[in-house]
Amino acid sequence: MAQASGVEIGVRARRGQTNRLARLARVAQRKPLGSISFLVILAIVIMAIAAPLVAPHDPNELRPSARLQAPNTTFLLGTDQVGRDVLSRLIYGARVSIWVGIMAIVIGTGSGVVIGLVSGFAGGKLDLIVQRVVDAVLAFPGLILALVLVTVLGPGLEKLFIAVGVSIAPGQSRVVRSAVLSIKENVYVEAGRAVGATNTRLLLKYLLPNVMPIIIVLASLLLGAAILIEAGLSFLGLGVQPPTPSWGNMLSAEGRRYMELAPWMAVFPGACIMLVVLAFNLFGDMLRDILDPRLRGSR
């Protein structure tokens, strides 16, 4: 009997794995752009992690004799004004962009979720005061707010995490609050309150799991926005500081100054920013369709 039950469990496990693979195949067929975007993101992340192994040259090595070389067999994407390999700097720049995007999302999502949960659940005067503060912050574009914060905090990668994270937190808190206002009126929340559940338990057990799909979709969509803000700050000279390679600072003064003479110095970093932001947006759109039951049956 024990052997038979073990075989049955194995069969069920294989069936469950087959069903998951079939669902993934249906999703890939229904959202081909989202699937391709996921592969692009995965490739960029792997490239960033394995940068020392993938990059053909040292990204900061100066080669005066190889200044402003066009793309060739030795330097596949050409060199910059001091002879540094553009391809190697792009690969190492992916590390900075992805890392800043992830840390900014962790900070922005964490603070935005806490503010949205507490504000929406508490209601009353607390909700009114918090939302007026959020309205005031949302009056500033994200890049302008990040620009002010990084100017006040000063240069540094950790300061950049905070500046970009805080700039995206208000929008996330507003979306989470809207979801909480709807969910907290459901019967199961009232039932939990009736049996004596504390507010903390209601927030963590009933509200947070139900807004988690929204949080995941927002995080995936805002990753691209965070990378774009980092690139903008680095372009203005307030983000990642040279000689550390970043897509934004590669587009900065040197990229603009040599645009006509060496267009590859600006075209390739700009293309990387465009590609990764587009990939995250399309991937977030796919996640939304998968995680939102209201959209799942309409596609």
pLDDT (tens digit per residue) in 3-45: 445 445 444 545 545 565 566 667 667 778 878 888 899 999 9
Report helix angle 157-183 to 124-138, nearest 10: 140
Taking residue 252's Cβ as centre, other Cβ atoms within 10 Å add up to: 19
Which has more confidence, 118 or 252? 118
Model's pTM, two decimal places? 0.80
Domain boundaries, the chain: 1-30, 31-295
CATH level 3 topology of 31-295:
MetI-like fold (1.10.3720)
pLDDT (tens digit per residue) in 210-230: 888 888 888 888 888 888 888
How far apart CA 247 and CA 239 sit, in angstroms, is: 11
The type of residue at 10 is G
Per-residue b or e along 124-156, where b marks 16 or more CB atoms closer than 10 Å to that residue's CB: eeebeebbeebeeeeeeebbebbbebbeeeeee
- Considering only CA atoms, which of 134, 86, 136, 132 is closest in space to residue 111? 134
